[in-house]
Amino acid sequence: MQHYFGTIAGDNAIIDGKQVHHMINVRRTNIGEHIEVSDGSEAYLCVVESLDPLVVRVESKIEQKRELDIDLTVAFALLKGDHNDLIVLKGTELGVGKFIPFLSSRTIIAPKDETDNRLLRLRKKAEEGAMQCRRETIPEVTEYARLEDVLKIKADHKLFAYEGMAGTSDDLYHYASKIEKRQSVLVVIGPEGGFSYEEARLALDFDFELVSLGRRILRAETAALYAASILSAASEND
């Protein structure tokens, strides 16, 4: 079933304008077809009653919960190529609620502007991922930050993935069992060259937990998705 984002006005659903073209001309939705529409907090089962003009009627609210029981934020150092797209697209499917792309001492690329085409593309990937996996909300992709600013963010659990911890007992898999429902979690993932020792010390100064992502050294994009997978699975394990 197709999934879209919009607003609910009484018995009607108003699809966001940029999605109408995709709905009618790409997906070729038919009159009488059922679709899902999310207003950013809840999803509704709707039926298409007319295409020109577009009329979508709400039939019922969908009770199935699709968001995580935790507020999960993934901060990741900007990477080369399309690896950033992969983190946001697949992280959205895994339930991440917010992405913070940041710059650290070993970040290879440096955006010239606070909002550039790369950032706009990441936000589009978040929307695409949310539609594909029928999320109730579209994850936020913030403007670029510096690591120092990321470390100042408040959260119930602040986790810093540090390759210097690889193979130790302080691994994310075991730490995840400490996280309770409705708590906020911030996990910070480094760039291709990893974090420096000084950056790890700074994270400790801001009360972060240094955690391992297992026995092996992972690529940066793999590390981000591994962390999101572990925390997502722990959140949904009743």
Specify whether 145 is located in the same domain as 43. Answer: no
Report the C-alpha dihedral over residues 212, 236, 130, 183, rounded to 10 degrees.
-70
Task: Please indicate, yes or no, if residue 111 is contained in any of the structural domains.
Answer: yes
Among 43, 61, 79, residue at a domain's last position: 61
What is the reported pLDDT for 156? 98
- Helical packing angle, 117-132 and 83-93, nearest 10°: 30
Taking the model in full, what pTM does it have? 0.89
Specify whether 121 is located in the same domain as 79. Answer: yes
Specify whether 57 is located in the same domain as 75. Answer: no
Specify whether 157 is located in the same domain as 208. Answer: yes
| Per-residue pLDDT tens listing for the chain (238 residues) | 889 999 999 999 999 878 898 898 888 899 999 999 999 888 999 999 999 889 999 999 998 888 999 999 999 999 998 999 999 999 999 999 999 999 999 998 878 776 688 999 999 999 999 999 999 999 999 999 999 999 999 999 999 999 887 666 579 999 999 999 999 999 999 999 899 999 999 999 999 999 999 888 899 999 999 999 999 999 987 6
Cα distance between residue 169 and residue 189, in whole Å: 19
Cα distance between residue 194 and residue 143, in whole Å: 21
Specify whether 15 is located in the same domain as 52. Answer: yes
Specify whether 56 is located in the same domain as 75. Answer: no
Per the structure, how many domains does the chain have? Answer: 2
Specify whether 83 is located in the same domain as 185. Answer: yes
Is the distance from CB of 72 to CB of 228 less than 8 angstroms? Answer: yes
List the one residue out of 79, 216, 83, 94 whose CA is nearest residue 161.
216
Among 61, 86, 105, residue at a domain's last position: 61
What is the reported pLDDT for 185? 98
Specify whether 124 is located in the same domain as 228. Answer: yes
Task: Please indicate, yes or no, if residue 144 is contained in any of the structural domains.
Answer: yes
Task: Please indicate, yes or no, if residue 66 is contained in any of the structural domains.
Answer: no
CATH of the domain at 40: 2.40.240.20
Among 41, 61, 81, residue at a domain's last position: 61
Specify whether 55 is located in the same domain as 96. Answer: no
Tokens coding 10? 């009484």
Query: What radius of gyration do the chain's Cα atoms show?
Result: 20
Is the distance from CB of 227 to CB of 178 less than 8 angstroms? Answer: no
Specify whether 212 is located in the same domain as 112. Answer: yes
Parent domain of 100: 71-236
Q: What are phi and psi of 160, to 5 degrees?
A: -120, 110
Specify whether 40 is located in the same domain as 80. Answer: no
CATH of the domain at 134: 3.40.1280.10
Specify whether 119 is located in the same domain as 190. Answer: yes
